């Protein structure tokens, strides 16, 4: 008799869990299409902003590192300016690491909020366009000059 009693308890618990999960699914499915779209847009915009911030910090760090390398030249400011460039470079790298931690945690937050991972994957497939990239191509670095480092007075302008 106790065996059948244990089986019926387990069966009853299984039925109760099934009913509870269906109830949760019905409540979750009660969101309107507009609410789902707003929720998706919120999470995608949050993830998009984090990705943009990380790329921006990495680009700024690269600029500071390049400026510091240029400070090694004889005609560039020295002393405190060089240290300021190094400090800014380190600061941007730290900020990029902090944003990366936020990016890692957004996946857990989204999962806890019931957000499908596909919503964030859609953003991951988007290219990151930084503001200075919108303005056009970056100026050529010193090694990529069109005139190959020749004196402009002695260039042949007829080669167009």
Convert the pLDDT of each residue in 127-150 to its tens digit: 888 876 544 444 444 444 455 555
The answer as to whether 12 is a domain residue is no
Q: How far apart are CA 65 and CA 100, in angstroms?
A: 20
What does the pLDDT read at residue 21? 57
CB 93 within 8 A of CB 64: no
In this prediction, residue 117 has a pLDDT band, given cuts at 50, 70 and 90, of confident
The answer as to whether 44 is a domain residue is yes
In this prediction, residue 29 has a pLDDT band, given cuts at 50, 70 and 90, of low
Q: What is the mean pLDDT of residues 113-121?
A: 89
Give the chain's domain count: 1
CB 73 within 8 A of CB 24: no
The answer as to whether 91 is a domain residue is yes
The answer as to whether 20 is a domain residue is no
3-state helix, strand, coil in the chain (%, to 5): 75, 0, 25
The answer as to whether 94 is a domain residue is yes
The answer as to whether 46 is a domain residue is yes
The answer as to whether 97 is a domain residue is yes
Residue owning tokens 């996946």 = 107
In this prediction, residue 73 has a pLDDT band, given cuts at 50, 70 and 90, of confident
> pTM for the full model?
0.59
The answer as to whether 152 is a domain residue is no
Q: How far apart are CA 49 and CA 102, in angstroms?
A: 11
What does the pLDDT read at residue 45? 92
Q: How far apart are CA 23 and CA 67, in angstroms?
A: 60
Domain range for 46 is 34-125
The string of pLDDT tens digits covering residues 33-53 is 899 999 999 999 999 999 999
């Amino acid at each position: 008799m106790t065996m059948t009693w244990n089986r019926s308890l387990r069966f009853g618990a299984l039925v109760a869990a099934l009913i509870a999960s269906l109830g949760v699914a019905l409540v979750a499915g009660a969101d309107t299409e507009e609410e789902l779209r707003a929720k998706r847009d919120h999470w995608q915009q949050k993830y998009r902003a984090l990705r943009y911030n990380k790329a921006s910090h990495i680009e700024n760090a690269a600029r500071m590192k390049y400026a510091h390398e240029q400070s090694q030249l004889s005609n560039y400011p020295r002393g405190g300016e060089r240290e300021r460039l190094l400090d800014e470079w380190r600061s941007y790298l730290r900020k990029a690491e902090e944003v990366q931690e936020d990016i890692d945690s957004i996946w857990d937050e989204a999962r806890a909020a019931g957000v499908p991972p596909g919503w964030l994957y859609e953003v991951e497939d988007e290219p990151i366009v930084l503001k200075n990239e919108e303005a056009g191509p970056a100026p050529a670095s010193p090694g990529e000059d069109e005139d190959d480092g020749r004196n402009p007075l002695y260039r042949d302008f007829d080669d167009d």
